[in-house]
Each structure stands twice: as structure tokens, then as C-alpha cells.
């Protein structure tokens, strides 16, 4: 079974892409909706929440987990992979989302000017800058924190004119810098993909993050048959949240195209 963890509803964009790319695998989703957003939390809190979530998913039988949350990937993933995982679940794997997106941005950028939008914690960590510079030392990276967008998405305010206005204000600096590639560095933001694409214009390549992550996972499983062989195939997907809300349920149905059964869990 493949687990997908996010702070809220945004990770469903990744689940949907993985489901489309790799329909043979059973998936398990966990959204820490009781404690979102992670973007204004301390690094210590983000690490604690993420390890609690991973522990739950591994106990449920997941052999591999995608940390779909950019904030958790930026602030906790490296320590988890190097220390926590080896100590507690040495036979399991945890993958993040930042490296696949950085690799694709470096590949597609025509003039070496990449923009990044994300939560305060993700932007403050400079993780995208570091990963992009490993790939292309001379690349120019312009990062903007866009914290208001997460609650707007969680409330289902996707196609509202005020949301587009907020996005336009956020990316003004990126347009002035003439970035040619934009990374949506939060799993909530692909739900605003069309707005970003329209506002940034044809000269900027806005990355389709969920598809890139799904493609990267598929490639990873081909390269690691020992891990792939242990993953459960078939069966119904499972969805867990730490707080069940009417908004989450309604938006999940709208974005996935079908009803889902949500189970409430407590992480500890």
C-alpha cells in the first residue's frame, strides 16, 4: 500500500495523479486537518506532526509514503530519512515532493529564472533554492510566500475573483523578474493551477506538480523492484483525517469526482 500524507486537502491532487498513473496500487490518504496549516508552525512542531503521521500510515500497512506536504518535505524530511526512519521503520521508505519538482524546473527553464510560491515555512527554508542550485549553480530563483492561499483552498474558494486578485498581487514580483518557470510549492496550489497559468501568461511554464510527482514515483518503483514487490495491489483506497469537516468532504467529492468514506483518527 502507498501512503500519501498532507496537512489538509491539497494532497488529494497528488493522490488523484498517482491513482491515474498507477491504478494497480492500493492507496491510503492521511490529512492532518485538525492542525493545518503547517506553514506557520515551528520546525520542531512540523517534525513532530510528520513523524506521527508516518507512524500511523506505517502501522496501517503502508510500505512507502509520499510526504505530499511541501512544508513537511522542506522542514522535516531529511532528518526523518537519515535518523527517524532508520531507527523506527528501517524496512519502509519515505519520499518527498521537492526534488522531483526542482529537477523538472531545472530541466524546463529556458533562461534560468525560476519562481517558487509556497508557505512561509517552505520559502524560509530555502529548500527549493538549494536543490535547484545543486542542479544548476547559476540558476536564478525567486521565491514568494503565499500563506493566504491555503485557507482559501481549504474553504473551496477556488474560482472566486478575490482569489485571482490575491494571486495576482502575490506573483507581481515574479512577473517583474520575468521568471520562465513557476513551481507551485504547496499541494494546495495545483487546485489554483488555471488561475496561476492565466495570470503568469504564456511565457511562463507553470509546473503541473501532481503529474510530475506521480511520474517520479512510477520511475522510482521501476528502479526499486524490491520495494515495488511489497506494495499491496487492488483493494479500495482509504482516507483518514484528524478532523472531519463538511468542507473537506464536499471539496473531496468535487475534486476526486466521487464520494469517499472519511475516517477520523488521532495522531500521537
Predicted TM-score (pTM) of this structure: 0.95
- Listing DSSP states for the chain in one string gives -EEEEESSSTTHHHHHHHHHH-TTB-EEEEE-TTS---TTS-HHHHHHHHHHHHHHHHHTT-SEEEE--HHHHHHTHHHIIIIIHHHH-TT-EEE-SHHHHHHHHHHH-SSSEEEEEE-HHHHHHTHHHHHHHHH-TT-EEEEEE-TTHHHHHHTT-SS-HHHHHHHHHHHHHHHHTT-SEEEEESTTGGGGHHHHHHHH-TTSEE--HHHHHHHHHHHHHHH-HHHHTTS-BSS--EEEESS--HHHHHHHHHHHSS---EEE----
Query: Closest by alpha carbon to 54, among 19, 87, 85, 82?
Result: 85
Write out the binding residues for substrate: 6-7, 38-39, 70-71, 187-188
Residue 27 pLDDT grade (very low, low, confident, very high; cuts 50, 70, 90):
very high
Distance, in Å, from the CA atom of 176 to the CA atom of 163, rounded to the nearest integer, reads: 20
Q: Looking at the predicted structure, is the pLDDT value of residue 146 above 90?
A: yes
Q: Looking at the predicted structure, is the pLDDT value of residue 6 above 90?
A: yes
Average confidence (pLDDT) over 22-35: 97
Average confidence (pLDDT) over 108-115: 98
> pLDDT of 43-52, one tens digit each?
999 999 999 9
Residues known to be catalytic: 69, 186
Write out the binding residues: 6-7, 38-39, 70-71, 187-188
Sorted by where each starts, the structural domains of the chain and their CATH numbers stand as 2-96+211-264 (3.40.50.1860), 99-209 (3.40.50.1860)
pLDDT at 13: 95
Distance, in Å, from the CA atom of 34 to the CA atom of 21, rounded to the nearest integer, reads: 30
- Listing DSSP states for 1-21 in one string gives -EEEEESSSTTHHHHHHHHHH
Going 157 to 2 to 262 to 17, the CA torsion angle's sign is positive
Average confidence (pLDDT) over 146-156: 93
Residue 246 pLDDT grade (very low, low, confident, very high; cuts 50, 70, 90):
confident
Q: Looking at the predicted structure, is the pLDDT value of residue 123 above 90?
A: yes
Q: Looking at the predicted structure, is the pLDDT value of residue 235 above 90?
A: no
> pLDDT of 155-202, one tens digit each?
889 999 999 999 999 999 999 999 999 999 999 999 999 999 999 999
Amino acid at each position: 500500500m502507498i501512503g500519501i500524507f498532507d496537512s489538509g486537502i491539497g494532497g488529494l491532487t497528488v493522490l488523484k495523479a498517482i491513482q491515474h498513473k498507477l491504478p494497480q496500487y492500493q492507496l491510503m490518504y492521511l490529512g492532518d486537518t485538525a492542525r493545518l496549516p503547517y506553514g506557520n508552525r515551528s520546525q520542531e512542531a512540523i517534525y513532530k506532526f510528520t513523524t506521527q503521521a508516518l507512524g500511523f500510515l506505517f502501522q496501517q500497512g503502508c510500505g512507502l509514503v509520499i510526504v505530499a506536504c511541501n512544508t513537511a518535505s522542506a522542514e522535516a524530511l531529511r532528518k526523518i530519512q537519515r535518523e527517524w526512519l532508520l531507527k523506527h521503520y528501517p524496512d519502509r521508505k519515505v519520499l518527498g515532493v521537492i526534488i522531483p519538482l526542482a529537477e523538472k524546473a531545472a530541466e524546463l527553464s529556458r533562461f534560468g529564472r525560476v519562481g517558487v510560491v509556497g508557505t512561509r515555512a517552505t520559502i524560509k527554508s530555502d529548500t527549493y533554492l538549494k536543490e535547484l542550485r545543486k542542479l544548476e549553480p547559476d540558476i536564478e530563483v525567486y521565491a514568494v510566500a503565499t500563506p493566504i492561499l491555503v485557507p482559501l483552498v481549504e474553504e473551496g474558494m477556488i474560482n472566486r475573483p478575490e482569489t485571482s486578485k490575491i494571486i495576482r498581487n502575490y506573483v507581481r514580483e515574479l512577473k517583474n523578474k520575468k521568471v520562465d518557470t513557476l513551481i507551485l510549492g504547496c499541494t494546495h496550489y495545483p487546485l489554483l493551477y488555471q488561475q496561476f497559468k492565466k495570470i503568469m501568461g504564456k511565457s511562463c511554464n507553470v509546473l503541473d506538480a501532481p503529474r510530475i510527482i506521480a511520474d517520479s514515483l512510477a520511475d522510482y518503483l521501476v528502479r526499486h523492484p524490491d520495494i515495488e514487490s511489497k506494495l499491496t495491489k487492488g483493494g479500495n483506497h482509504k482516507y483518514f483525517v484528524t478532523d472531519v469537516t463538511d468542507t473537506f468532504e464536499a471539496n473531496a467529492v468535487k475534486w476526486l469526482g466521487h464520494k469517499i468514506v472519511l475516517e477520523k483518527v488521532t495522531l500521537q
